[in-house]
Structure formats: structure tokens, C-alpha cells
Structure 1
Amino acid sequence: MVTYLGKLGELTLKGSNLKFFEKLLVQNAKTYLLSVDAKVHLNFGRLYIECEESACPAVEFTLSRLTGITGWAKAEVTEKNIEAIQKKVLELALVEKEKGAKTFKIEARRSDKSFPLDSYSIMREAGNLVYERQILSVDVHSPDVTFTVEVRDKVYVYSDSQKGRRGLPVGCSGKGLLLLSGGLDSPVAGYRMIRRGMTVECIYFHSYPYTSEEAQKKVEKLAEIVSGYGLRLHLNTIPFTQVQMQIKKKSPENYTTLMLRMCMMKVATMLAKRIGADCLITGESLGQVASQTIENMAVTESASGLPLLRPLVGLDKEEIIATAREIGTYETSILPYEDCCVLFSPKHPVLKAPLEEATRIFESLEVEPLLEEAFNNRQLMRFEAAGFVAQNWGTKENTEKLSKDHAVIVPMPQQSQV
């Protein structure tokens, strides 16, 4: 049996609400692992996952995406005495030497105060065999490898600690509706809100044939990647061709992008109210493009009565790209398939639109019936992280069903009412 440890971070500061967050964290980990043989529990600031060797890839996928932990490691379990600890550290040191390590240090934590050695003594004694047999040299400042010994209900020894996603467990911070495009920004915005514990659903505006099927597939792939961090994700695709043609026909050219943003906000608000979302989320960054000046963002926000969250508002493009690379959306986002925001973009867009003027132009578009029609003809696609795990590593009887649930298209009723 293989044991993994997940380290809690911010959750430990939650005081009287700690049990709620811990329970949710365990529940989320179990959801990822529905199709594999794994046991999940939490005790004294550590998340434990026990599994067979064959399930390790599924568990590592889960821990690398699970929000609410600061780090994780594949640990060796040994007896509660210093001799057993020394032998286990020696075993790990031999493995690390084969990988090219030359220096090491020991870190130790002792939660079980009945253990005869304190943390400092454990650090001093645990590496004795490694040092005496000259397997590795000691370097407490910049070691090639750090061996960690945790004395808890059992003794856990590990050398390969990975960074976690930090943040809060998904599901503790309400629900948000993300305006997802095929660009770099919006997937990162959704990910950042997922890290704050928010359940995220998505809305995407598609203007076929002006936006290609490849553009839609690109967005679906981005939704799939983001769903890996948020447990599950619903992608609502809105047919927006007629709305954009109406904007082109009736709006002053320099206002077309801003009118499109207002129309998107209107439809997104309809959907948010239908699904019970508490807010809208966008990938806007202050001053990045013409529609993202503070004046134009105020106009955009005026089209929705819901809170509008902009988690990237203070980031520059390099910071956004760094996160996109980290979460795996970058390569998909830069594929050369344009979304509907690029269509009919004016050469000289308005930079500081007065709210009153923008509102007057929007009302003159007479676009409300087209917005409702687009909303009623939306299409839903569901992505389940548990389904992805099942497709790749599942072993249980429910694997087939979970695999099918990973990406399911559900057509909306044609006459649904707002």
C-alpha cells in the first residue's frame, strides 16, 4: 500500500469553521478518486491518501490539482523508533544518489510528543547511516535533496515534496459564472477563483461561421483543463452571430466592441440567475486593451446587476502567461483561432466612453429579443474531473459511466424561459 500526505495551509487558520473546510477538502479528494481504489482521510493537519501502486498516477493527478493544500508527497511508512527511521532514510538516500544527488539535509516534525526524541534530535540522528556510509554529504543550506521525517500516529519519511495549489477547497465560496473566451486571460481568471474555493461554470459566445468550429473546440479544451482544478465545469455555448450583426448594423463603429461586451453581460446575467451563480467573472486586466480602461469597464459592468469579479485586474501579461503555463492552458490559448471578440473590431475604439452615451447607444440597438433568442438556444457541455481520472486510471465498476460523464453535450430546450 502506498501513502500520500497532503499538507494543509490556509485552512488551519479557520478557527471554529475548520471542520467544515476539512470535511469539504476530503470530500473533494474522494470525488476525484471515485473510480480508483483509494482511501482518503484527514488527521491533525494532514490529508492522507492510501492506494495501490497502480492508482498512484490518479492520486498524483488529484493532489497536483486539489485546492486547499500547500504541498504533498509520496511517503514511506516505518516503525516508531530511530533505528527504523535511519534505515528508511538510508533507503531513500540510495535512490536519490542514483538520480544524481550529492548532498542532503534532514527536516523533522514531531506531532506525537510521546516519542522519546524531539524534532532537533530526530534531525540529528535520522541521517547517521547516510553520513557514516558516505552515501551523501551534509549541506543544510542548499542540499540536493531534503529528507523529511514526520512522527505522527505513524512515522512518515519522504524526500520528494511537491507544491500544492494552496487556497481553499472548491465549493466553500459560492458559485461564479466565467465569461470564457479562447484567449490567455479568462482561463487564468477562472482558475484563480477556483483557488479561492469558488465553484465555476462558464459561458462562451460563438459566432459561426465567423468564428470557426476550431475556435469552439479550442474553448472546449480550455474548459476541460480548467475543470481539472474545479472538480467539474459546465460550458454554456451561446450562438451570437445575429447579435453581432445587429451591433455592426446599428452601433457607431467605435462603440461596437463595447456594445458587444454589454450584450455579453446581459446574457451572462440571464444565465447566472438561471443556474444560481452569485457573480460574474471576467479576465479583464486594467488598461490591457481599449475595452479595459476604467471608464469602459464601468460601462461593461453597468449591463449586469450582479457583482463582477476581475481577478486579473492588477496583473500584467507576463504574470498572466506565467500562470497559464503553470496550469496547462497556454499552449491551447495561443492556437490561432479567433473568438467572437475579435470580429468587426473597430480600428479606433472608444477609450473613455461616457456611461450615459453608451447606455443610449445600447438601447438604440433594439437587441433584447436577439439576446433572449441566443440564450434560449444555448448548448451545455459538462466536464467532470472524476470522469477524466476514470478514463485514464479507473478500475471500479462505475468507470464506464464516469468516463462518459467527463464530456457530455446537453442541448437546451428551445422554448426555455428566462
Structure 2
Amino acid sequence: MLAAHLIYKFIFGGTVLYLVKLFPEITIKSRPVRRKFIRQLRKNLREVLKEFDEGIKVTGKWDVLEVETSNDESIITKQITERLTCTPGIASILKAERHPLREMEEIFQLTLKAYGEFIIGKTFAVRCKRNGQHQFRSVDVEQYVGRGLKKHLKTAGVKLKKPDVTVALEIKDEFLYIIREQVKGLGGYPLGCQDAVMSLISGGFDSSVSSFLTIKRGLQTHYCFFNLGGKAHELAVKEVALFLWMKYHSSHRVKFVSVPFAGVVEEILTQVDDSQMGVVLKRMMLRAGERIADDLSIKALVTGESVAQVSSQTLSNLAVIDTAIDSLVLRPLCTVNKQDIIDISRDIGTEDFSKNIPEYCAVISKKPTTKANIGKVKREESRFNFDVLEFIFINDETQEVERFFAG
């Protein structure tokens, strides 16, 4: 596709057109499931794009969606493109011109007008994708247009492998699409196609990235925060949740539950053996998270744990931790290296938030066990006053993420 410095905004007929290509895993679903996913994606796109244009059109039913806006301001088209690239369910976004399909010569003339100034002095190749019944093949279009461009312009010639400029055309039924820019999408499934989950978020690298990954997979992701660091800690984590919501899943309303957990930690510090503190703390968090999730009819929890990253995350310890509840616990990062997690956080935009948030759970135990025994853990928990755990449900606070810092 065009090099970045050649990409520019294009306007035709007062509208800007985007072709939205579906995430490939959607296209291999059964017809009813595929139809459901596409319908959900259309709905999501209308929701996240309406702030840019109340009259924005999202059409298409099967293999590609078309997004049309009459707002051709460059800043708006840039924001629309960015929003599309951050919406789950999309493989790629193509900015395109759409024309009625006529004779081969007109295809060439339209392509010459669109691409002419960008291939002068450069190597190029014409690529055509075709769908529908026509009297010509895709290669016929490529050869005809390629010969014409070479004849009419002072180019560096045709180069089929790694050209400076790829002249991209698509023909679908009775329409010609001249592709002016292609941007990679987020992939994954449309948000709302799967059940909701509750992410236990601390604001650090791991929980932020694991939340992003469940969002990307189409899971409506709500947040549960165990406050161990006071109001400043809560505000910092809310900023992370708000950022994720605004950028990746604003098509749906999302809840943020803040749980005062300092009392639970204090009880653990006074009643539980040092070596078992980390495991017991995680079990208490799962218990609290499950109850909060149940109240919201959410059936699964999400954590940012990665196998062996810290002492509480050995397989033995994770197995014991999970026995505290019946709900499913998802660990999207279970096999991901720490540096890779940090790299993902940088890519998705959460790094600057996460690197400034302290890790409170890591300082609770001086000599943590790496091979927890369920019998010993239960004996330690028998000394824990579970009234303290009940108390947090009286004082937890639930907010809609979109209402953060409002008014």
C-alpha cells in the first residue's frame, strides 16, 4: 500500500468511504453465527462513531461493511480511522473511492486520476480483487491498468515484488473501489458477541493488558478494583479503566467496582502465617470478585497472572488459589513473558499509566511459599475473621466508567 508519507485524505461526492474487512475467524463461522457477529459489529460501529457524525452510515451484511460519513474534515476523518482501528472484530480498514463499474478504459482513467501523481518516478504494481460475475478476470484489469499507467506516466516501471507503490483496486458486483489507504485493524470478535467478564484490575501492566485482551476477544469487560492504597490509588486505576473504555470498548456501558480491601490485608497480616499470606490474599480477592460478579450476573473473572512471574503464580499456588471459588478464572497472560506484556502495554497506550502505579500485593509476604498446600491454607484461613470480608460489600462502590470525573 502507499508509503505513509504518500497517504492522504480523499473526498469524493462530499462523503468519505471506509471498507471494513472482518476478522478472518468471523468468516469461518456458521451462517447464523456469522450473521449475528456482523450485526453486532454494525451496531458497535454506529455507537462508537456517532460522536463524529450523527448521520454516519454503516451498511453491509456478509463479507465487508461500508462506513460512509458526510463529515470530510481532516481531523474528523483521522479520528474515525483511529476509532475503527481500535474496534474489536475488524481485520483491516480501507479508505476507498467508489464508482459505478463501466468499461475497462474508464477503470484506467479513474485509477490514473487517483494514483497518477504518486507513482511518477516510482516502481508500481496494480493489484485487483474481484467479487461477482464479470466478463473479465482480475488479471485482465491489472494488465490493462498497468500498461496504461506505464504509458501515460514517467514511472520507474512495473515491479511485481515489493514495488514502491501498490495500486489497489477492488471490484464487487457493479462497483469499482479504488483503495487509497489500508490500515490494520485490532482483530478479535465484536464486543458483545460473548458473555461479560469481571477483570480484577490493579492498574499495573498485567491487569491492564489482560483486560485489553479480553476486550479484544469480544468479552464485555467490567472492572473490580481492590483498593489497598487509598484515594490516590483508586483515581490512578480509574484513569486506566477510563482510557481502556474510551479507546477500545465504548460501544458498551462498563461498570467499575471499587472495593475497600485494606481491612482484609490487615486481618491477613495479623492472623495468617507469613508464607501463606500471598496465596490467602489472592483467594480472598477471588471470593470477593466472585460475589460482586454474581450480583452483576457475570460468570467469569479475569486476572493478570502469568505462570511463575512471581511466587504466588506457580502452578501449585494457582491451583490452590482457584479452589476458593466455583467461577471460571481466565488468565490471558498465563504464558506471556513480562517484557512482552510491557511491549503490549506500550502498543495499546497503558504503559505510562501502569509504570507509575505501585504494586501493593507484592509486599505482603517476606518468604512466600511456591508450593501451597490446600490443607495448610485452609488451616490458616480458619483463623481469618470472615466478617471483615463481609464488611467490604457494605462499603464497595459501583460506577459507570463513562461517568468518571463527570460534573
Q: Would the TM-score normalized by the shorter structure come out above 0.5? A: yes
1:110 aligns with 2:126: no
Separation (CA, whole Å) in 1 of partners of 2:390 and 2:144: 71
Equivalent of 2:107, from 85, 92, 102?
85
For residue 189 of structure 1, what is the aligned residue in structure 2?
210
Equivalent of 1:139, from 155, 159, 166?
159
Equivalent of 1:363, from 367, 370, 382?
382
Contact kept? 1:93, 1:136, Cα under 8 Å: no
5+ unaligned residues in a row in structure 2: which ranges? Answer: 1-14
1:224 aligns with 2:242: yes
The alpha-carbon deviation at position 136 of structure 1 amounts to 5.2
For residue 299 of structure 2, what is the aligned residue in structure 1?
278
Equivalent of 1:42, from 46, 60, 68?
60
Counterpart code for 1:226: L
**Do the aligned partners of residues 313 and 85 (structure 1) sit closer, same or farther apart at CA in structure 2, a change above 3 Å counting?**
same
Separation (CA, whole Å) in 1 of partners of 2:232 and 2:105: 60
For residue 402 of structure 1, what is the aligned residue in structure 2?
none
The alpha-carbon deviation at position 212 of structure 1 amounts to 5.0
Separation (CA, whole Å) in 1 of partners of 2:118 and 2:379: 68
**Do the aligned partners of residues 5 and 205 (structure 1) sit closer, same or farther apart at CA in structure 2, a change above 3 Å counting?**
same
**Do the aligned partners of residues 353 and 95 (structure 1) sit closer, same or farther apart at CA in structure 2, a change above 3 Å counting?**
farther
> SS of the counterpart of 1:90?
helix
Contact kept? 1:33, 1:58, Cα under 8 Å: no
The alpha-carbon deviation at position 161 of structure 1 amounts to 0.8
Q: How does 1:19-418 map to 2 (within 5 A)?
A: 19-35=35-51, 36=53, 37-51=55-69, 52-54=71-73, 55-81=76-102, 82-94=104-116, 96=118, 102-114=122-134, 116-132=135-151, 133-135=153-155, 137-152=157-172, 153-207=174-228, 211=229, 213-227=231-245, 228-231=247-250, 232=252, 233-335=254-356, 337-342=357-362, 344-366=363-385, 368-384=386-402, 405=403, 407=404
The alpha-carbon deviation at position 147 of structure 1 amounts to 2.5
**Do the aligned partners of residues 251 and 70 (structure 1) sit closer, same or farther apart at CA in structure 2, a change above 3 Å counting?**
same
Q: TM-score when scaled to structure 2?
A: 0.87
1:6 aligns with 2:20: yes
> SS of the counterpart of 1:193?
helix
Separation (CA, whole Å) in 1 of partners of 2:232 and 2:298: 29
**Do the aligned partners of residues 145 and 361 (structure 1) sit closer, same or farther apart at CA in structure 2, a change above 3 Å counting?**
farther
CA RMSD, 1 decimal = 2.2
The alpha-carbon deviation at position 214 of structure 1 amounts to 3.9
The alpha-carbon deviation at position 105 of structure 1 amounts to 2.0
For residue 4 of structure 2, what is the aligned residue in structure 1?
none
Counterpart code for 2:109: K
5+ unaligned residues in a row in structure 1: which ranges? Answer: 385-404, 411-418
> SS of the counterpart of 1:303?
coil
Contact kept? 1:108, 1:150, Cα under 8 Å: yes
**Do the aligned partners of residues 154 and 346 (structure 1) sit closer, same or farther apart at CA in structure 2, a change above 3 Å counting?**
same
**Do the aligned partners of residues 138 and 43 (structure 1) sit closer, same or farther apart at CA in structure 2, a change above 3 Å counting?**
farther
Q: TM-score when scaled to structure 1?
A: 0.85
The alpha-carbon deviation at position 163 of structure 1 amounts to 0.9
